[in-house]
Structure 1
Amino acid sequence: MTISTTTHLNFRGDARAALELYREVFGGELTVVSYRDAHAVQDPAEADQVMWGQVVSADGFRVMAYDVPAATAWDRGRNAFYVSVRGSSVEEVTAYWKGLADGATIRQELAPSGWAAAYGMLEDRFGVVWVLDVLTAP
């Protein structure tokens, strides 16, 4: 038996743009179902927002997202979670970092650390905090 987890991100109107960015950065297939597509429109202004979306890459990257309807309480919050991406090389992680860094707030610059060949933390332009590092042999 195996189990896997997928980070599910909640937005207020930015899910499609966020998923498109993550597809650009990590590659893979983007799937988006709007409230209109699912025949689940509660507010006509939100019909084209994301009811369910995901990016899945052959490398193992997977993230899901949706737009929380205005009728549902939602707060971006602070430090509620981080998305951790661990790569096998500095070059691989640096490419992801560069893609996510556009418009981001850098919390910890990507650089060598005492526990990894590279480690960095940033909050992307959608408010999602990403921790990127390189797998280090034990």
Structure 2
Amino acid sequence: MSIKTVAHINFRGEARPALSFYQSVFGGDLVLLTHAQIYGTTDPAEADLVGWGRVVSNEGFAVMAYDAPASRAYDPGQSPFFMSVSGNDGDEITAYWDKLKVGGEVLQDLAPAGWSPLYGMLKDRFGITWVLDVQSSDAG
């Protein structure tokens, strides 16, 4: 038996643009279902919100997201989680980094670190913190 773990990000009205942005960064297929499609929502303010969405790329990237409805409490908090992307190709990681940082804030420059040939942290334009790194050949 095997399992996969995929991050599921909760938004308030930004799931569609966020998932589209992540697809533009990592490629892959984007699937979106609205609150109307999943929950039968008829309120025009929420019917077209994302009830479930996913981006999956051939390279192994996957993320899911949805828009929390107004009836559900939503507080993104202060860095409640990080999205981590690791690979073994510095050029590939740098390309993702360059796309993710557009409109965002670099928290730690993408540069060599004691444990990685390249490591960096940024907050994207949707407020999600990303950690990108190149796996060290000694990283067991």
In structure 1, C-alpha distance between the alignment counterparts of 2:73 and 2:36, rounded to whole Å:
21
Map 1:83-98 to 2 at 5 A.
83-98=83-98
Q: How many Å apart are 1:90 and its aligned residue?
A: 0.9
Q: How many Å apart are 1:46 and its aligned residue?
A: 1.1
Tell me the residue number matched to 2:49. 49
Tell me the TM-score normalized by structure 1.
Answer: 0.96
Q: How many Å apart are 1:41 and its aligned residue?
A: 0.8
Whether the 8 Å contact between 2:36 and 2:42 is mirrored in structure 1 is no
1:3 is paired with a residue whose SS is coil
Tell me the residue number matched to 1:76. 76
Map 1:1-138 to 2 at 5 A.
1-41=1-41, 43-138=43-138
2:110 is paired with a residue whose SS is strand
In structure 2, C-alpha distance between the alignment counterparts of 1:67 and 1:124, rounded to whole Å:
17
Provide structure 2 residue ranges, at least 5 long, that are not aligned to the other structure. none
In structure 2, C-alpha distance between the alignment counterparts of 1:108 and 1:99, rounded to whole Å:
16
Q: How many Å apart are 1:76 and its aligned residue?
A: 1.1
Q: How many Å apart are 1:25 and its aligned residue?
A: 0.4
Equivalent residues, number? 138
1:36 is paired with a residue whose SS is helix
Tell me the TM-score normalized by structure 2.
Answer: 0.95
In structure 1, C-alpha distance between the alignment counterparts of 2:3 and 2:68, rounded to whole Å:
27
In structure 2, C-alpha distance between the alignment counterparts of 1:117 and 1:126, rounded to whole Å:
27
